[in-house]
Each structure stands twice: as structure tokens, then as C-alpha cells.
């Protein structure tokens, strides 16, 4: 055997597992956006196996010895910054996964990781179960008092799709519950909707997550101890910018008191308004969105519904493309000759505005549907790299907008518009990737840095340049 070198060890590792990468990408799409009963069974079977497979690599003593040799070789200092970073990443990931432990501890680590993989799967499947199976029925038109037409339409469509005996129904997802809490004049139903959403996985019975949480925490604590860390938090932050839980807490504490003070001010404003209206209530969590809206109207004469008609999904998307053109020189052109996994998914080719060179593909899976997890996120289906050949990236944005009637524009709230720009910021991060090695590609940066580009780029939404052109 040749002695370990960067190219026969680190680069060789970068070249392995390409088929598995492709398969797990498809697996990830099913898991997060088309998660039905059949796929849940696949997840339950595969998650522990994938964890065991990963441990088998990081616990391979001969392999780790080679990585360690390359990492500690003084010659590494003469290599490119990217190569040094990559060697550091392999070494650190292996050590963090237990490569330096004795065999007995390695075996226990592997058991813990497989157990955790199963528990995480069970946890998210429980949440999804409650999101898919719980509804707030709206028995009569009275139950829809205050709701904007788009929400009434969606509530009626839900009843039709589920063949339910009610005038309408609110799904147990953020994109349905949040607008209901904002507009419903029915305080009794707001309380029900809020409690339904907040108790996902927390209602006792077979889909309750409380027991799983205890188990997860115990296993994480045990794993941290095995690896020589006082707590899971110490282990988790060691390779992040924050480094220690103390520093992370310092930041949290610095924000905490001013944030609480602000919440108290806002709730006091709400209470004052409720008292003025003789509502006879003490502001509760299910009143926050509703009264925040009223206070805004009262103080600034600003109505979210008035704002919403200016926020059309299609136009905002054009606005994001315009920003990407101005800042990064990207052009987005719709394409329909690439495969998609669901008819809702749309794809754009991204090219360089000046040279016309191909940069990548942008997949957009915009709408809520059964089996898709709540919220919004970005991921890469393929990483940019040029280790052996030039590989361009394929990135995706996923969100849960409620589809309007056919032919009508989809109107979204200001919060949703910010989220849209935020997630697109992650996509731009991925599309701007310019590296040699796949493991360092796109958003594969330290955990507490990855939100920086997206947090920064979301601010373009509120600029006159964007609103003046696209909020019409």
C-alpha cells in the first residue's frame, strides 16, 4: 500500500459515494415533500441503517490513521487553503464521530447513533401525523367570521378534499393556522386553532413525542460523555463559530431582556386596545396575531390585508430574480425540459448575465400539500465542484404557500414574503459556490454561519428598488 497522501486519501474520499449521494438526495426529497405511509416505512427501515453505515466509515481505524497522517503532515501547510480546510474537516468529523475511541466505546457510539436515527424519524413522523390528521372544523359561515376570502376558499377546499361534514376546515399547518389566528373574529376558535397547532406531538397516545425527547436527551448526553464533552451542547458547538455553550448563552442573554421588554410593551398595547373595545378579556397567546393586527391598524392605519394584495407570489419571485441579477449577475430563465418529482415544481436555468455561461438550476416547490413538512427551506440536489470535471449546482427552494383558485394570483403576507427572500438567499449562497471539492460546496459551512447570507439578502425585499418594481 502507498503511504497516505492528500490525493490518495482525502481526494479519494471525495470521489467515493457518488451513487449514494444521488440516492439520498432523492430519498431526502421524498422524506420532506412527499412523505406518505409507504415512504414512512422506508424511513423507519433506512434511517438506522444509514447511521450504521456512516459509523462504519468513521470508525474504520485504518482509514482514520491515514486521514490523521495527512492532516498532521507539515506538508499540508503548503497546500491551498481549500485543501487545508478539507483535511481539517475530514479529521475533525472523524474525531467528533468517535474515531479515537476504543472498540467498546465505538460499539456503544454506533448503537446510540442508530437509536437516535430511529428516534428522530419517529419524532418528525409524529409531528407530520398530527399535521395531516388534525383539523379545526368550521361548522357554519359564522365560524368563518373575519376571514379573508382566500382563507375561506382554502377552508372550503380542505373540506371538499377530505370529504368532511363542515362548512370549512383549517389544516394543522403553519400556513393555515397563522392566517386564521390573524383574522378570525372568533376568539373561541382561535384558542382551539392555537392549541391544536402547539400540541403537535404533545397530546398523549401513540403519536406523542414527550417520551422520545427524554430518550433523545439521555442518548445525546451519553454520547457527549463518551466523546469527552461535558454536555451535548459542548460537543455540538465545538466546531461552530460560537465554540462554547457559554458564548452562545451570552448572546442569547444579551437579546433576552430587551426582547421580553418589547413583548411586554406590545402585549400592553393589545390589552389597552381590547379594554377600549370592552372586549372583557386578558390577552392570551391565541390573541397575539389578531390584536397585533388591530394595534397596527389603530396606530398606523396599516392593514395586512391591504398590504397583501401588493404581494403576489409570481411578482415577488421576479423581484428576487431581479435582485440576483443586480447583485450576482445571474439570469433566471424558465425551463420545462428537466424532470420534476411533482407537477407543482417549477424549474429555472440560472446563467451568467454577461457571458451566458450556465451556472445551475433552481427548483421551486412553492405550495403546501399533504406529506410536505411545514415551513420553508433550501437544499442542494447537486453540489457545485470541479474535482474531476466541472459540475454545476442544482438548488431548490421549498415553501408552503396555499394555492389560490386557478388563474388567480397567489397573495402572500409580508412575513411570508420575507421568508421567501430569506430562503432565496440560501439558494443564492449555493449558486455562488466556486470550489474544487464537493464537501466544501455551497452552504456546507459552519452551522452558525449558514444563516448569514440569507439573513442579509432577505433585507432586499423592503428596499424601494424592489417594492417599487415588484409590489404592484
Task: Give residues in contact with Zn ion (CB under 5 A).
Answer: 451, 454
Is residue 423 part of the annotated active site? The answer reads yes
Dihedral sign computed on CA atoms, order 230, 231, 236, 237: negative
CA distance 203 to 180: 21
Min separation Cβ 61 and Zn ion, Å: 38
Q: Please name which of 299, 331, 335 lies closest in space to residue 318, comparing C-alpha atoms.
A: 331
Calculate helix-pair angle for 187-198, 174-183, nearest 10 degrees: 150
Toward Zn ion, which CB reaches closer, 153 or 451?
451
Toward Zn ion, which CB reaches closer, 92 or 462?
462
Min separation Cβ 378 and Zn ion, Å: 7
- E strand segments, 232-302: none
Min separation Cβ 304 and Zn ion, Å: 23
- Decide: helix, strand or coil at residue 360: strand
Strands 377-382 and 393-401: what pairing?
antiparallel
Toward Zn ion, which CB reaches closer, 200 or 426?
426
Toward Zn ion, which CB reaches closer, 26 or 456?
456
Min separation Cβ 339 and Zn ion, Å: 27
Min separation Cβ 161 and Zn ion, Å: 31
Strands 393-401 and 358-367: what pairing?
parallel
Calculate helix-pair angle for 81-96, 61-72, nearest 10 degrees: 140
Min separation Cβ 428 and Zn ion, Å: 12
Indicate the residue whose CB is closest to Zn ion.
454
Q: How many CB atoms lie within 10 A of CB 146?
A: 14
Asked if 29 and 341 count as a contact pair (C-beta separation under 8 A), the reply is yes
Q: Identify the H or E element spanning 123.
A: helix 103-133
Helices and strands per DSSP (H, E), number in the chain: 18, 7
Single out the catalytic residue among 423, 451, 458, 465.
423
DSSP state of 335: E
Toward Zn ion, which CB reaches closer, 182 or 454?
454
Which residues does residue 25 pair with via DSSP β-bridges, in sequence order? none
Residues listed for the chain:
472
Toward Zn ion, which CB reaches closer, 29 or 428?
428
| Active-site residue set | 423
Amino acid at each position: 500500500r502507498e503511504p497516505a497522501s492528500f490525493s490518495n486519501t482525502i481526494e479519494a474520499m471525495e470521489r467515493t459515494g457518488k451513487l449514494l449521494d444521488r440516492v439520498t438526495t432523492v430519498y431526502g426529497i421524498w422524506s420532506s415533500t412527499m412523505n406518505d405511509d409507504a415512504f414512512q416505512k422506508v424511513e423507519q427501515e433506512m434511517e438506522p441503517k444509514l447511521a450504521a453505515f456512516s459509523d462504519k466509515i468513521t470508525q474504520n481505524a485504518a482509514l482514520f490513521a491515514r486521514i490523521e497522517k495527512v492532516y498532521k503532515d507539515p506538508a499540508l501547510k503548503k497546500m491551498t487553503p481549500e485543501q487545508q480546510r478539507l483535511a481539517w474537516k475530514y479529521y475533525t468529523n472523524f474525531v467528533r464521530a468517535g474515531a479515537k475511541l476504543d472498540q467498546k466505546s465505538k460499539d456503544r457510539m454506533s448503537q446510540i447513533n442508530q437509536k437516535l436515527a430511529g428516534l428522530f424519524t419517529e419524532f418528525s413522523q409524529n409531528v407530520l401525523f398530527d399535521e395531516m390528521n388534525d383539523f379545526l372544523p368550521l361548522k357554519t359561515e359564522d365560524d368563518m367570521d373575519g376571514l379573508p376570502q382566500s382563507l375561506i376558499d382554502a377552508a372550503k377546499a380542505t373540506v371538499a378534499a377530505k370529504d368532511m361534514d363542515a362548512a370549512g376546515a383549517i389544516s394543522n399547518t403553519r400556513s393555515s393556522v397563522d392566517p386564521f389566528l390573524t383574522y378570525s373574529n372568533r376568539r373561541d376558535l382561535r384558542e382551539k386553532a392555537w392549541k391544536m397547532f402547539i400540541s403537535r406531538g404533545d397530546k398523549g397516545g401513540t403519536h406523542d413525542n414527550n417520551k422520545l425527547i427524554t430518550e433523545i436527551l439521555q442518548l445525546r448526553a451519553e454520547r457527549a460523555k463518551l466523546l469527552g464533552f461535558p454536555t451535548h451542547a459542548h460537543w455540538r458547538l465545538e466546531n461552530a463559530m460560537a465554540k462554547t455553550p457559554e458564548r452562545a448563552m451570552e448572546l442569547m442573554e444579551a437579546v433576552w431582556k430587551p426582547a421580553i421588554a418589547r413583548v411586554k410593551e406590545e402585549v400592553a398595547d393589545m390589552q389597552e386596545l381590547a379594554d377600549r373595545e370592552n372586549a372583557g378579556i386578558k390577552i392570551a397567546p391565541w390573541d397575539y396575531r389578531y390584536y397585533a393586527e388591530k394595534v397596527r391598524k389603530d396606530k398606523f392605519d396599516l392593514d395586512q390585508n391591504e398590504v397583501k394584495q401588493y404581494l403576489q407570489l409570481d411578482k415577488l419571485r421576479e423581484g428576487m430574480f431581479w435582485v440576483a441579477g443586480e447583485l450576482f449577475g445571474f439570469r433566471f430563465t424558465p425551463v420545462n425540459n428537466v424532470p420534476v418529482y411533482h407537477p407543482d415544481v417549477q424549474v429555472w436555468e440560472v446563467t451568467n448575465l454577461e457571458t451566458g455561461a450556465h451556472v445551475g438550476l433552481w427548483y421551486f416547490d412553492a405550495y403546501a400539500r399533504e406529506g410536505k413538512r411545514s415551513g420553508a427551506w433550501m437544499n442542494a440536489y447537486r453540489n457545485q465542484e470541479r474535482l474531476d470535471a466541472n459540475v454545476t449546482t442544482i438548488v431548490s427552494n421549498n415553501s408552503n404557500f396555499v394555492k389560490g383558485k386557478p388563474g388567480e394570483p397567489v397573495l402572500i403576507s409580508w412575513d411570508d414574503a420575507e421568508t421567501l427572500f430569506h430562503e432565496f438567499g440560501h439558494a443564492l449562497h449555493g449558486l455562488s459556490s466556486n470550489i474544487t471539492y464537493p464537501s466544501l460546496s455551497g452552504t456546507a459551512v459552519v452551522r452558525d454561519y449558514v444563516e448569514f447570507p440569507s439573513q442579509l439578502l432577505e433585507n432586499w425585499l423592503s428596499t424601494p428598488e424592489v417594492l417599487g418594481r415588484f409590489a404592484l
